[in-house]
Amino acid sequence: MIKILDCTLRDGGYYNKWQFSEKLINDYIKKINEAKIDISEVGFRFNTKSSKLGISAYSNDNYLRQIKSNYSKICIMVNAADLILDKKFNKVVYKKLFLKKLPDNVYMVRIACHLHELKILIPYLKLFKKQFRNVAVNLMQISEMKSKDLLSISKELEEKKNLLEVFYIADSLGRLNKKKISKIVKLIKKNWSGEIGFHAHDNMRKALSNCRTAITSGITWIDSTLLGMGRGPGNVKTEELITSNKIFTQRYNKKPIQKLLKKYFIPLKKKYQWGTNNFYYLAAKNKIHPTYIQTLISDKQKENVIYQKIKILSKINSKNFNPDFLDYNANKKNKTKIFFKPEDEIKNREVLIIGNGKSVTKQRRKIEKFIKRKNLYTINLNTKKNINEKFIDLRISSHPLRVLSNIDDFTKIENKIIIPSSFNRKKLTKFQTKKNIYFFPFRISKNKKFLFQKNLIESPSNLSISFALGIVNLGKAKKIYIAGFDGFENFEYKNIEFDEMINSYYNCAKSKNIFSITNSKFNLNFLKKL
């Protein structure tokens, strides 16, 4: 018999930080019971604590005891990453999360894991099984799994079958189709004789049809959420799933679900705007973790900007979400980082900042002569080689995605390179041995103002030129020239962003005049003659 597991309070929490009200939770449990949904997942059990996260992020024992479930069974989920530290089994960590047996109303514990975590997870399964009635493993990113790995995993789990009730497969990137699902289930069944579950995401608008295929292929557990509320574009909708065939229509009651939607979840969707769109579709096509899209949408990035970032993310390994790729404000302490000291190199020097405009290539010889004549300290943005490298003293890049997408080019550069200190060096693996990489604290200001101080640059924009202007000003440059900031023909919003950034810069008390030595559409001062 097919079992439906509604995981709204768990997966849906990625949008509201698991801050569901007590009234919503109580009504949800009551209506889920009335709808006769087989099991409801009421939250995560995270290892780390944060005041920003609500009660269903931790699902502590008091929270679980307060949930009164009649005939609906409840479960919780724990991430394998919260159990596995330093790639090793750690019983202390387990006991921290599960010091004692969960309340009797908890039917199941599910562990979400990646392929590389599964073998390390086996000793934990033994502990779970000693404490809890039912245990399930949710294997994430199943769309990226090789056939040989699936066969190996299913065989290993079959050998440990006494530790596990359900082997769940999760389409985390929302990339599966009917053909792939059938193939995956067939492969698993060659070795695994137990029950199989399916967790669908709706990136490509195929969640419901994929669930139907999963059922016909022999899967017996299906996840869903109310109104599809879940990470990224969300999941298959519970209200659609229970009306998708006659058996479900006879078994489940849709009226309590409709009441929940009207009272709570339609207003929540208006507020948080989850659901499928072209961005999530492209993310799925390009193996990009949906949280990148969710973050960009939540930050109210313009459509053109999101499309550009999707393009960059598609060129790098983006299957796992790394907030450092998007976050300029992390500024995490890292003892391995070498921090750049602007005054040591720039003080009392005239400086030239070179952009990527075509004007630099056209006037290359004149610019090189100008640099030589005035003995300029020259900064080139990002990786473009539009003048002779011997004239470049420093390169600056402010955007993690740009660095990652051009990382091979960056590793070939011999000049000093400055990037924001919020970048996670461990993720930039090809930078590990580079001795010419320097860091400086840089973040996006909340008040749209420039700030230059000893150990921090704040800018209203993430443009590399704004980072460079901060470095130059802190370095106490004598004079600032720029070249190659021509303006954009087809992206007016970029022109507006640049002009707004320059205006904010000039409004800063410590700013210096900027002189462009090449023609530009921007609101700049021009040096009449090179």
Query: Which pLDDT band, with edges at 50, 70 and 90, does 231 fall under?
Result: very high
Angle at 251 between CA 25 and CA 67, to 5 degrees: 20
265-279, 321-335, 404-418: least confidently modelled range = 321-335
Percent of the chain with pLDDT over 90: 50
Query: Which pLDDT band, with edges at 50, 70 and 90, does 334 fall under?
Result: very low
Q: How many domains in the chain? A: 3
Checking if the pLDDT of 510 tops 90, the result is: no
Supply the mean pLDDT for the chain: 87
Are the beta carbons of 59 and 92 closer than 8 angstroms?
no
Query: Which pLDDT band, with edges at 50, 70 and 90, does 429 fall under?
Result: low
Are the beta carbons of 235 and 201 closer than 8 angstroms?
yes
Q: Within a 10 A sphere around the Cβ of 182, how many other Cβ atoms?
A: 15
Mean pLDDT across the stretch 392-402? 83
Checking if the pLDDT of 2 tops 90, the result is: yes
Q: Are residues 91 and 194 in the same domain?
A: yes
Q: Which of 272, 298, 332 is the last residue of a domain?
A: 272
CA 464, 469, 474, 476 dihedral sign is positive
Is residue 220, in this structure, part of any structural domain at all?
yes
80-94, 173-187, 270-284, 415-429: least confidently modelled range = 415-429
> Which of these, 249, 218, 201, 207, lies nearest to 2 by C-alpha position?
218
Is residue 250, in this structure, part of any structural domain at all?
yes
3-state secondary structure 405-455: HCHHHHHHCCCEEEEECCCCCCCCHHHCCCCCEEEECEEECCCCCCEEECC
Higher-scoring residue by pLDDT: 153, 296: 153
Is residue 518, in this structure, part of any structural domain at all?
yes
Q: Are residues 282 and 259 in the same domain?
A: no
Confidence (pLDDT) at 409:
77
Confidence (pLDDT) at 428:
58
Checking if the pLDDT of 481 tops 50, the result is: yes
Q: Are residues 298 and 182 in the same domain?
A: no
Are the beta carbons of 184 and 146 closer than 8 angstroms?
no
309-313, 415-419, 421-425, 494-498: least confidently modelled range = 421-425
Burial of 148 (0-12, 13-18, 19+ CB in 10 A): exposed
Query: Which pLDDT band, with edges at 50, 70 and 90, does 200 fall under?
Result: very high
CA atoms within 13 A on the CB side of 154: 23
Mean pLDDT across the stretch 405-423? 77
Q: Parallel, antiparallel, or unpaired for β 451-453 and 456-459?
A: antiparallel
Mean pLDDT across the stretch 98-122? 88
Confidence (pLDDT) at 331:
43
Which domain range does residue 190 map to? Answer: 3-272
Query: Which pLDDT band, with edges at 50, 70 and 90, does 412 fall under?
Result: confident
Q: Are residues 115 and 262 in the same domain?
A: yes
Query: What pTM, to 2 d.p., does this model score?
Result: 0.70
Whole-angstrom CA distances from 261 to 4, 59, 238, 297, 345 are 18, 23, 10, 23, 61
Is residue 499, in this structure, part of any structural domain at all?
yes
Q: Both tokens of residue 76?
A: 């919780």
Q: Strand ranges (DSSP E) for 158-228?
A: 166-170, 195-199, 221-224
Query: Which pLDDT band, with edges at 50, 70 and 90, does 329 fall under?
Result: very low
Checking if the pLDDT of 301 tops 90, the result is: no
Mean pLDDT across the stretch 325-345? 62
Query: Which pLDDT band, with edges at 50, 70 and 90, does 169 fall under?
Result: very high
Token pair 């082997």 in the structure block, residue: 167
Q: Are residues 512 and 409 in the same domain?
A: yes
Higher-scoring residue by pLDDT: 77, 466: 77
pLDDT per position as a tens digit, 260-284? 999 999 999 999 999 999 999 999 9
Q: Both tokens of residue 178?
A: 């009917």
Percent of the chain with pLDDT over 70: 92
Query: Which pLDDT band, with edges at 50, 70 and 90, does 330 fall under?
Result: very low
pLDDT per position as a tens digit, 8-29? 999 999 999 999 999 999 999 9
Q: Are residues 83 and 127 in the same domain?
A: yes
Mean pLDDT across the stretch 360-384? 91
Q: Which of 321, 351, 381 is the last residue of a domain?
A: 321
Confidence (pLDDT) at 267:
96
Q: Are residues 128 and 249 in the same domain?
A: yes
Mean pLDDT across the stretch 166-179? 95
Checking if the pLDDT of 36 tops 70, the result is: yes
Checking if the pLDDT of 386 tops 90, the result is: no
Which phi and psi angles does 397 have, rounded to 5°?
-140, 135
Checking if the pLDDT of 126 tops 70, the result is: yes
Confidence (pLDDT) at 307:
85
> What is the full DSSP assignment across 459-499?
ESS--HHHHHHHHHHHTT-SEEEEE-----SS-HHHHHHHH
Is residue 421, in this structure, part of any structural domain at all?
yes
Is residue 437, in this structure, part of any structural domain at all?
yes
Checking if the pLDDT of 327 tops 70, the result is: no
Mean pLDDT across the stretch 67-75? 81
Mean pLDDT across the stretch 331-349? 71
Q: Both tokens of residue 89?
A: 């089994």
Query: In what side-by-side order are the strands of the sheet with 514-516?
Result: 437-440, 416-420, 394-396, 377-381, 350-354, 479-483, 514-516, 525-526
Q: Are residues 518 and 374 in the same domain?
A: yes
Higher-scoring residue by pLDDT: 326, 138: 138
Q: What is the CATH number of the domain that holds 64?
A: 3.20.20.70
pLDDT per position as a tens digit, 443-462? 888 777 888 887 788 888 88
Burial of 359 (0-12, 13-18, 19+ CB in 10 A): buried
Q: Are residues 381 and 467 in the same domain?
A: yes
Q: Are residues 413 and 519 in the same domain?
A: yes
Is residue 153, in this structure, part of any structural domain at all?
yes
Is residue 257, in this structure, part of any structural domain at all?
yes
Q: Are residues 26 and 164 in the same domain?
A: yes
Q: Which of 255, 287, 321 is the last residue of a domain?
A: 321
148-157, 332-341, 380-389, 463-472: least confidently modelled range = 332-341
Mean pLDDT across the stretch 125-129? 91
Confidence (pLDDT) at 486:
85
Q: Are residues 447 and 510 in the same domain?
A: yes
Q: Both tokens of residue 126?
A: 């033994």
CA atoms within 13 A on the CB side of 165: 14
Confidence (pLDDT) at 52:
83
